[in-house]
Structure 1
């Protein structure tokens, strides 16, 4: 690599890193390599599944770096790593193409809004994301089946659809089917009633990729005959190296009432977990989602919302939709914490008690009085046992009894970081589940605050 080529490439990486989230940069950009620049064409080596991302997101970066270093427009020629099984994959694709005329048309039922590019990556979903990308890149050859489990609203359905959309983008003739386990059961029942089981078998056993959402429904609601049909469908696809991806709210071994032979097959491939997003990931998710709305969200509003919803992404999306309703009704351009709080209270009115408006100072005062420490000591850096307990109980109650965000609570407790508040909250919450004495103390303080 010449000196100018090195300067150019360093500038490309610098610009890309400044414009992308760190996790996105690490996955899509960091392992790319500049081979050469010849005739104003930069030859870049990267994984072939990342080409679409580069084309959609990094063309301006290449142009900028090209004019800065060479004072001319630099175009790109992508080359891809030579994967040993590439020829087999091409052969499989050719076989699929030649036989596709004899197969019935399949509606993939994919949601086009879900892609890898708009999936927000955090520590809690990184492995599931990486495995999903790998499966989309080489279906049927890496992890088969891929089993993704976790609570509701954490992105499992997003990843299922992203896999399917990526495969269809690379091969429009690929036979891909996204379906929930409940709908699979319904289709089975209908085909049994109509005596058209051969049609069902043709539909599912000739797929290239089967994406099944909420497979736990198969254990809860299906008859033995349905599990038998799914077992045979699974075997038919797996034996022909066709990709299967499953999502669930629990691990394969925890799927009660499911035949053991199915549990065994679900464990054949890779099982990955998605856990609730941390504060930083929730902020990133919100910043990504608000691009869909024509309002300006203040930074403190985003942090407030991220602090209020910590169980799943669906709650964050629902909050934004309710904020949209309030903003439209009031004809607002800027979303403040007050607007967001109003929308959230309206959303929770029927399902949970209305949040009492309590100043954090009042919580600190009552906690301090109970434990015999001053508010100043609670806000200080002192680490004596009674002060630490009072401080952590105060943070816990501020989270439980007010609408304030984690950063706001941290600021009121001596300028502490939001992670410190979350740690205190979780610690007191865990102790309360085991220690009746502390629970009585906290309840006593709560009654005095109210």
Structure 2
């Protein structure tokens, strides 16, 4: 049948012309209704699609028309299908740049998307700890709702999860300005739901979230332990978007299987697509991050200063950013342009004393808190017994002594019954590796840190 041949030719040519995400967004949802008297009637479910068909695909329609019908085929776009004739609105694509009427959803103003322009893929520093998460985020931005849906990114605070969420949203809007995109922390989603529920405006809430093309939810663990109605609404929102092939991207401080206080059906859905971890940046990545953060400043950060800073903070990017802010403040007050290690050390001493008290935490306090948490005595920790729970407590305590104090490796080893410094290095590496793989251990160590500080 010529109509089918004509339409398949259009789609084939459109696939060559458009990027994958634009093809999926603009071409795939369209339908050919009929070709009559050399006019093709094409159904577009969203009015914003007309501009692409009119500007970027017009010559393709002409080419397909001559190939199949051996004549020029003009176009007429409609917003509803013929069986809904009473509410059909026709768009005159030949002579008009606007629609006669539109019942479809309008694009969301950028100011209401929740996105931050500064977060892009271009300024996201890639390292061993985040390379796969970034690759997955890029894939989603190129093949919306077809590659990984949902995409679930998890990891500790300050590692770039929010940056990636925003980068996805900004990339989509760069390629598809009409896409309906919303970034929102889970806590804000909950508050928005409760406020609409209180005001009796649930239909408005549903229309806002269920009409999106891309929903970006940050810190989904905030949904844990919330009332059944809240989880029910998110469940329904998730289902509505997913069933309509709309993209969902979630972040959390832990993997789906370790999310407690959530209905099992939600946890199951979070694992439908791809789950990807982000781990703390290694030394080289921290150097690259520091270079990126300082290259536009009016201060000269010497290479050895950056190396010093990279060695002082290794848990997350926010600590590095905070350190840079402290340093530039001191440099501004002292009217210094060249940032030496001494200037950096001065700023960090103040930061550690004021914020984390890193330099004044005694090792015996760390040993006591770790022992209390794991039910192991300090004497056992300093001994040589190789019982599993004692070994874990000993290694965690050594890890925290290395992370939270400025003591040398030999000094730390001495505090653990005269252990060699290589034992401390091994313990630190072992726990760091386990943290990357075991959410529960990471959360346990965070809990111990809070008690120590």
1:391-440 deviations in Å (ceiling 9; x for gaps): xxx99989875499x9xx9xxxxxxxxxxxx987541447899xxxxxxx
Q: Distance in 2 between matches of 1:85 and 1:203?
A: 22
Within the alignment, does 1:124 sit opposite 2:126 as a pair? Answer: no
Partner of 1:238: 242
Residues 399 and 424 of structure 1: CA distance in aligned 2, closer, same or farther (over 3 Å): farther
Structure 1's 206 and 283: CA in aligned 2 closer, same or farther, altered over 3 A? same
Contact 1:124 1:275 in 2 (8 A): yes
Q: Does 1:427 align with 2:442?
A: no
Match of 2:261 among 246, 254, 257: 257
- Equivalences, count: 302
Q: Deviations over 1:332-370 (max 9, x none)?
A: 1011111111111111223343638xxxxxxxxxxxxxx
Per the alignment, in what secondary structure is the counterpart of residue 133 of structure 1? helix
Asked whether 1:268 is paired with 2:204, we answer no
Is the counterpart of residue 154 in structure 1 residue 159 in structure 2? yes
Bigger Cα Rg: 2
SS at the partner of 1:247?
strand
**C-alpha distance in 2 between matches for 1:333 and 1:325:** 11
Query: Deviation at 1:201?
Result: 0.1
Matched, 1:186 2:191: yes
Is 1:326 aligned to 2:262, yes or no? no
Report deviation, 1:92: 4.7
The residue aligned with 1:168 is: 173
Of residues 90, 101, 104, the one that matches 1:102 is: 104
Would the aligned equivalents of 1:396 and 1:428 in 2 still touch at CA under 8 Å?
no
Q: Which runs of 5 or more structure 1 residues have no equivalent in the other structure?
A: 1-78, 357-393, 410-421, 434-450
- Superposition map of 1:232-381 within 5 A: 232-353=236-357, 355=359
The CA deviation string for residues 147-168 of structure 1, in whole angstroms up to 9 with x for no partner, is 0000000000000000000000
Cα-to-partner distance string for 1:212-250 (whole Å, 9 max, x where unaligned): 000000114x21101100000000000111000000000
Distance 1:294 1:83, change over 3 A: closer
Equivalence map 1:195-206=2 (5 Å) = 195-206=200-211
CA deviation map 1:296-318 (0-9, x unaligned): 00111000000000111111011
Once the two structures are superposed, what CA deviation does each residue of 1:79-120 show, in whole Å capped at 9, x if it has no partner?
A: 989878874443257643257863366321100000000000
Note if 1:145 corresponds to 2:126: no
Distance 1:162 1:280 in 2: 23
Counterpart of 1:218 (choices 210, 217, 223) is: 223
Change in CA separation of 1:432 and 1:275 when aligned onto 2, cut-off 3 Å: closer
Asked if 2 retains the 8 angstrom alpha-carbon contact of 1:396 and 1:425, the reply is: no
Deviations along 1:194-217, one digit per CA (max 9) or x if unpaired, are: 000000000000000000000000
Q: Name the SS of the counterpart of 1:128 in structure 2.
A: helix
Query: SS in structure 2 opposite 1:203?
Result: helix
Mapped partners of 1:174, 1:432: distance in 2? 44
- Deviation for aligned residue 1:292: 3.3
**Of 111, 120, 137, the match for 2:116:** 111
Q: Rate the CA distance shift 1:234–1:271 in 2: closer, same or farther, 3 A.
A: same
Q: 1:283 to 1:166 in 2, by over 3 A?
A: same
Partners of 2:200 and 2:261 lie apart in 1 by: 27
- Tell me which moved more, 96-105 or 118-127: 96-105
1:188–1:226 contact (8 Å) kept in structure 2: yes
| Equivalent-residue separation in structure 2 for 1:122 and 1:177 (angstroms) | 27
Query: Distance in 2 between the 1:321 and 1:131 partners?
Result: 31
Distance 1:95 1:312 in 2: 44
CA distance in 2: counterparts of 1:398 and 1:266, whole angstroms: 36
> Structure 2: how far apart are the matches of 1:265 and 1:157?
21
